[in-house]
Amino acid sequence: MVGRRPSVYTSAMLCLAVAALAALCPSCLRDREAREPRTPRDVEVPDYLKDTIGAVARFAGREFVAVQGYGFVTSLDGTGTKVVPPGVRQQVLDMMRRNKVERPEEVLADPETAVVAVSGRLRPGISKGELFDLAVQTIPRTDTTSLEGGFLLQCDLSRVRLTRGVESRGEPLALGRGSIFVSPFGSEGKPKGSGDPRIGRVLAGGKALLSRHFRLALLTPSVRTADQVVRLVNARFPDAASGTQDPGRIDLGVPKHFQEDKTRFLDLVGAIYMRETPGARDRRVRLLLETLEAGEDMDRVALCLEAFGPTVAPRLHGLGEHPREAVRFYVGRTLAHLQDARAVHILERLVTDDRSTFQEQAVEALGKLRSGLGLGVLGRALNAASARVRVAAWRQMDRLAPQTFPARTFTDKFTLSTVATRGEPFIYVARTLKPQIAVFGNVAIRPPVLAETRRVTATVLENEDTLKLISRRRSRDVRVEAALDVKNLVEKLVLPFGISETQPKVQGLDLGYGDVVGLLHEMSRKGALTGPIVLQPLEYRIPAGRPVARPISTTGEKE
């Protein structure tokens, strides 16, 4: 009957029916559990991770954002194409007009140009104007055979979303522009020298148009908890956290000293202890020190100790002479991050020991001392047996004291540095972000030489002391000579032609980063250099989360 309330018997039957349906459909419950946030007490964590900010909140903004678009490449030596798919043609013409390209229709039909697909990834927390790498690839249904020597005109990069199977592009999030680097070293699973010339990278060629921000989302929204978290974070990192009208959200700003390692800042925020009484803090520090000394979960334990700030440093000094190398390393690294001068004494033993498994990591840690107190020890690491340790020492010293090493910057191309070392000589080549070549020690050219790439040839006979360089540019040969040392060779390859009424002789071949690296690789492969080429490691992500560097590759010898 309408309006009649259900009986007790009817209510009981309804409850039984619901329970039966739930039993028959466990996946429904699993789906609901996946959608509902788990409370901290649902997750099993070690005692030293309980009662931390990371236990009551999640971080938002830690994911990468993919951006892509179409680009237009110029300065190809007849390896481009006149063919442009109709759907792309108008976009490219608009882009050329924005770049003030004259007669765009004629330029588009020139075989020295090509239309490409451009893509990149915006890092978590990237700031407006910050640079990132781009991947460039020829698009299907075109006849482009190589992107070597090409220059990418400025293009828009947007986030692409799929809506009902149809791609839609939002507002541009980044711009792309720069010289294309076609690696001569091949890709994973392929032999060296087998890189596809239709695929390249523009190192540091992407520029973010907007800043991406981090925030904390409380698992259980609460004004009181939010206020406490803001207070704790700002006590450790002044003005880094700010509350909002939403009791479940806290905005985070990355401090200046963490701009190069923003995810570490987030890890430290997550490790801040929520209990504020002196007794609770003392018990937590004691537990962490005991766990570190026992050798358990040392990376995470050291992070938790660092989260306490400089006040914990004196408690760590006693472990600086621990018999276990791993304990000494984590203590020294934590003290370096806390800007404690004691770190130099503790890490020095590891940095100068070629047998230490922590040598390279100790070099990286010593570079965190912003005072420069570790520069002397880092200078000694330039003579280490390991090439990657020497590279790490040079990079840290170059960041702390940029004028230490002679360097020459070729505008819009790359930087060439020379590093004095008593170790075996080699040539370091960057493969991501800042294009850079560094010559460690005296790397000479060993005659006879006949090395050839698609855009340049280098020759010298057995008894000659001058290297002859020939570059075919627009169906005409350009010639120049260089001394038998790598620094002079690189300069001659990169300098502009320099021809004028008062200077009729060619000064350089005006080649780019990819051309120089390609020729050095070919010379190394043929044994024409007295030192190998050491490649900057690329980063990849393992399921556990943090980026891990691949081992440095060395061409010219077994890896």
Tell me the per-residue pLDDT of 202-227, one tens digit each, with 9 for 90 and over.
999 999 999 999 999 999 999 999 99
Residue 214 forms beta bridges with which residues? 252
The residue that leads in pLDDT, 21 or 491, is 491
| DSSP designation for 129 | T
Model confidence at 242: pLDDT above 90: yes
Task: Specify whether the CB–CB gap between 60 and 84 falls below 8 A.
Answer: no
Q: According to the model, what pLDDT value does residue 472 have?
A: 80
Token readout for 55 is 């236990």
Look at residue 169 in the predicted model and tell me its pLDDT. 67
- Residue 415 located in a structural domain: no
Domain membership of residue 473 (yes or no) is yes
What's 311's domain CATH number?
1.25.10.10
Q: Reply yes or no on whether the pLDDT at 540 is more than 60.
A: no
Number of domains in the chain: 5
Q: How many CA atoms lie within 13 A of 541 on its CB side?
A: 7
| Last residue within a domain, chosen from 270, 292, 319 | 270
Q: Does residue 441 have a pLDDT over 60?
A: yes
pLDDT of 13: 46
The model's pLDDT over 35-76, given as tens digits with 9 standing for 90+, comes to 444 444 455 678 888 999 999 999 999 999 999 999 989 888
Q: Are residues 146 and 126 in contact, defined by beta-carbon separation less than 8 angstroms? A: no
C-alpha torsion angle, residues 255, 257, 260, 261 (rounded to 10)? -70
CA distance 179 to 148: 9
Same domain, yes or no, for 500 and 530?
yes
Q: State the Rg of the chain over Cα.
A: 29
308 CB burial (10 A radius; 0-12, 13-18, 19+): buried
Note whether 263 and 164 are same-domain residues: no
Confidence of residue 542 (pLDDT cuts 50, 70, 90): very low
Is 237 a residue whose pLDDT tops 60? yes
Helix, strand and coil percent figures for the chain, each rounded to 5 = 35, 25, 40
One domain for residues 72 and 195: yes
Q: Check: CB of residue 364 under 8 Å from CB of residue 394.
A: no
Cα–Cα distance, 251 to 272 (Å, whole number): 16
Contact 213, 251 (CB under 8 A): yes
Q: Is residue 134 part of a domain?
A: yes
pLDDT at position 344 is 97
Is the pLDDT confidence value at 80 over 90? no
Give the lowest-confidence range in 91-105, 357-371, 449-463: 91-105
Stretch (H or E) spanning 16: helix 8-24
Q: Is 411 inside any structural domain?
A: no
**Distance between CA 368 and CA 337 in Å, rounded?**
6
pLDDT of residue 551: 39
Separation of alpha carbons 375 and 398, rounded Å: 10
Categorize the per-residue pLDDT at 164 as very low, low, confident or very high, splitting at 50, 70 and 90. Answer: low
Mean pLDDT confidence for 293-300 = 94
Identity of the residue numbered 214: F
Asked if residue 375 and residue 433 are part of one domain, the reply reads no
How far apart are the C-alpha atoms of 539 and 546, rounded to whole Å? 10
198/220 same-domain check: no
Q: Is the pLDDT of residue 163 over 90?
A: no
Identify whether residues 75 and 201 lie together within a single domain: yes
Q: What is the mean pLDDT of the chain?
A: 85
Q: How confident is the model at residue 559 (pLDDT cuts 50, 70, 90)?
A: very low
Predicted confidence band of residue 186 (pLDDT cuts 50, 70, 90): low
Range in 11-20, 140-149, 340-349, 407-416 the model is least confident about:
11-20
Nearest to 555 by CA among 539, 531, 441: 531
Question: pLDDT class for 280, splitting at 50, 70, 90?
Answer: very high
Which of 226, 245, 270 represents a domain boundary (last residue)?
270
Quote the domain boundaries for residue 523.
423-555
Q: What pLDDT is stored for residue 81 in this prediction?
A: 81
**Do 72 and 200 belong together in one domain?**
yes
pLDDT over 70 percentage in the chain: 84
Q: Check pLDDT > 80 for residue 284.
A: yes
350 and 247 together in one domain = no
By the 8 A CB rule, do 554 and 535 touch?
yes
pLDDT at 128: 95
pLDDT at 471 over 60: yes
Q: Is residue 417 part of a domain?
A: no
> What is the rounded distance in angstroms from the CA atom of residue 382 to the CA atom of residue 377?
9
pLDDT over 60 at 29, yes or no? no
pLDDT band at residue 549, thresholds of 50, 70 and 90?
Answer: very low
192, two tokens: 């060296």
Q: What is the pLDDT of residue 24?
A: 42
- Give the max Cα distance, the chain: 112
For residue 111, the model assigns a pLDDT of 83
498 phi-psi bin (left φ>0, alpha ψ -120 to 50, beta other): left
| Listed residue (406, 413, 454) closest to 435, CA to CA | 413
Closest CA to 137 of 68, 222, 210, 211: 68
Helices (H), 352-485: 359-366, 375-381, 387-400
More confident residue, 544 or 27: 27
Secondary structure tally for the chain: helices H, strands E: 17, 22
Q: Are residues 478 and 531 in the same domain?
A: yes
Average pLDDT of the segment spanning 278-303: 95
123 to 62, 101, 174, 252, 334: CA distances (angstroms): 8, 32, 12, 16, 25
- Give the separation between CA 73 and CA 138, rounded to whole angstroms: 10
Q: Which two tokens stand for residue 108?
A: 């588009």
Left if phi > 0, otherwise alpha if psi is -120 to 50, otherwise beta: which for 539?
A: beta
Give me the sign of the Cα torsion angle 6, 10, 16, 21. Answer: negative
* Domain co-membership, 253 together with 177: no
200 plus 77 within the same structural domain: yes
Same domain, 155 and 250: no
Within-domain flag for 409 = no
Is 451 in contact with 458 (CB distance < 8 Å)? yes
Q: Is residue 557 predicted with pLDDT exceeding 60? A: no
Distance CA 559, CA 556 (A): 9
Tokens of 235: 């006590």
Q: How far apart are CA 15 and CA 270, in angstroms?
A: 42
What are the pLDDT digits (tens) for 489-498?
999 999 998 8
44 inside domain: no
- Looking at per-residue confidence, does 513 or 161 come out higher? 513
Domain assignment present for 547: yes
